[in-house]
Every structure is written in structure tokens, then in C-alpha cells.
Amino acid sequence: MDADTGREPFGARLRRAMDTRGPLCVGIDPHASLLHDWGLSDDVAGLSAFTRTVVEALADRVAVLKPQSAFFERFGSRGVAVLEEAVAEARAAGALVLMDAKRGDIGSTMAAYAATYLDKDSPLFSDALTVSPYLGFGSLRPALDAARVSGSGLFVLALTSNPEGAEVQRATTERGPSVAQTVLDHAAEENAGVTPLGSVGAVVGATLGEAGVNLAINGPLLAPGIGAQGATPADLPGVFGAAVGHVVPSVSRGVLRHGPDVYALRAAAERFNDDVRTAVEGARRAR
Ligand SMILES: O=C(O)c1cc(=O)[nH]c(=O)n1[C@@H]1O[C@H](COP(=O)(O)O)[C@@H](O)[C@H]1O
């Protein structure tokens, strides 16, 4: 328990969930093409049916569910209402909800985003939030403070899975290290001394081949890019090296394409979890 908040911090809750349920995070990304493939209409009714099915299939068994806010926002306030319901239901069923909204703004506006996702009285209150540090890591301070108060987590974009990210993230700072390394160093400072795992995570794409940065941040490493973007669980040891035990591999379409059958969705998630465990264990034995 955190002495100040009385709530178990996100990092500790995530570590336990990864150890008991497996490390996989499944993204809830209701693409129009997936709604079509599931035989659903591309409207709020289709969005709602899709989201309920994913939550019913997976919230009681995977460690993390990651709704991608954009796919809900595109339907306006009624889409956001579907998102609110999904967050509450997934959390009630035992999944940790990572809201993928990639928020980032100047401090005072960032405080409003923090109130939206990291205040326990907000309708969109989530266990963790993805944030962008590209207005300067310090601009995230209101979110870092709010997360600490509510026992929530943050995942800060460091090296994203898309090829366009490199021109910003691999650029070197005046002090020498890359921009991404500077972000990771800030995350490490936030997590210093925390056990068993800090609550400030970083996003590092599974597609990178080799991260080429120091990933020892004492926090979770969200690894998107598995499945539809071409990476596989077997790539994880090569990308993450000694930090692979802290990796939360994230898959959206690679699991969702197996719906709408709930058993097929469960089987797909289980296969990814098994493949990740095999890859991580193999890397541990080889060390
Ligand atoms: O933060 C993320 O989740 C994220 C970061 C990143 O570097 N790359 C990335 O693809 N994502 C998200 O992860 C999901 C990937 O979806 P799939 O490619 O279908 O597995 C999408 O919701 C992306 O927005």
C-alpha cells in the first residue's frame, strides 16, 4: 500500500496480474473493418456489441485491456458512453484498464486530462493512461502527480512501433543521449526505489528489432506491434534483452480478428500469452 493514498500502486497490481494471468495486454480497437467482419454495423450499436463481446470474452482472464479511445470518440458522446461502460465492466471483472489516449499538452491542460482519466471520481477513471512526453517530460507532471494520488499508472511513449517515430525519438539531445533515452531516464527517476515495479511505464515497440537504449526503468514496458504490425512474441527477447521480464506485450487486431466468437477470442489470447511465456523463459534459460 502507498502510505499517502492507502491504495495499492498500479505497478504492484500490474506485476501480480502479469504473474497470475500472463503478461498479455489486448487492445480494444473497434476498426470499421472489424465491425464489418464481425457482421456488425459501423455505428454506436455495432460499437457497443463489439466492445461488450471483447470485455465478456477477456476481462476475467487477461491482465490488461487497452481500449483505444479514438475508435470510440469517432462516434461522439454516445461512443464515449460505450467507452465509459466498457472501462467500468472490464475493471469489475478484474482486468486492469489501460486507456490508450496518448494525451500530452502543456501543464495546465495536462491537469485537465489527468482529471479525466486519473481521478477516481471521473467516469473515465482508468488503471493507467498512455501519455506523450513530446511537449517535454516535465509537462506530464500533473499526470504523474494525479496518478500517484489515485494509485494509477502511466505509459510514456518512448520508442513507438511506427517507422515515422524514429526521426524524433532517435534524434540526439544537446547533452548527448537520444530523445527516447532521455524519456526513459525520466521514467527511471520516477520509479527509483519502488518495489516490486514502478507505476511509470514506457512504450517501446516490439517492431524495433533491437531497442538500442537502456530499458532499466524499474517500470513496465508496453510492447505494441505484435500481430498486425508484423512483430511476434519470439521477437521480444531481441528487442528488450535483460528487460524482457518487464514487458507487457500488446496485441489488438491479432486477437480481435478471431471474433465475434468469445471462445475463439479467448483461445487467441491464450496462444499469445503462451508464446510470450515460451519466449521469455527461453531467453531466461539462455542467459
Ligand atoms: O500506445 C500504444 O498502444 C501504441 C504505441 C505504439 O507505439 N504503437 C501502437 O501501435 N500503439 C497502439 O497499439 C495498437 C496496435 O494495434 P494492432 O496493430 O492492431 O495490434 C493501436 O491501438 C495503436 O494505437
Task: Supply φ then ψ for residue 22, to 5 degrees.
Answer: 95, 160
The residue to mutate among 37, 229, 252, 265, having the most atoms of ligand 1 within 8 angstroms of its beta carbon, is: 252
Domain coordinates in residue numbering, the chain: 10-286
User: How far is the centre of ligand 1, averaged over its atoms, from the C-alpha of 189 (Å)?
Assistant: 25
Give the three cell numbers for residue 256.
480481435
Question: Which DSSP string corresponds to 84-107?
Answer: HHHHHHHHHTTPEEEEEEEE---H
CA nearest 249: which of 286, 215, 280? Answer: 280
Report the pLDDT value the prediction gives residue 268, as an integer from 0 to 100: 98
Beta bridge partners of 243: none
Q: Which atom of ligand 1 is nearest to the CA of 228?
A: 18
The answer for residues whose C-beta is within 8 angstroms of residue 210's C-beta and 6 or more apart is 238, 239
Class of CATH domain 10-286:
alpha beta
User: How far is the centre of ligand 1, averaged over its atoms, from the C-alpha of 224 (Å)?
Assistant: 5
Report the pLDDT value the prediction gives residue 174, as an integer from 0 to 100: 87
CA nearest 74: which of 65, 83, 66? Answer: 83
ipTM > 0.85, yes or no: yes
Element (H, E) at 131: strand 128-131
- The proportion of the chain whose per-residue pLDDT surpasses 70, expressed as a percent, equals 98
161-213: per-residue pLDDT in tens? 999 999 999 999 888 899 999 999 999 999 999 999 999 999 999 999 888 99
Residue pair 55/90 in contact (Cβ under 8 Å)? The answer is yes
pLDDT at 286 over 90: no
Q: Model confidence at 5, in pLDDT bands (50, 70, 90)? A: low
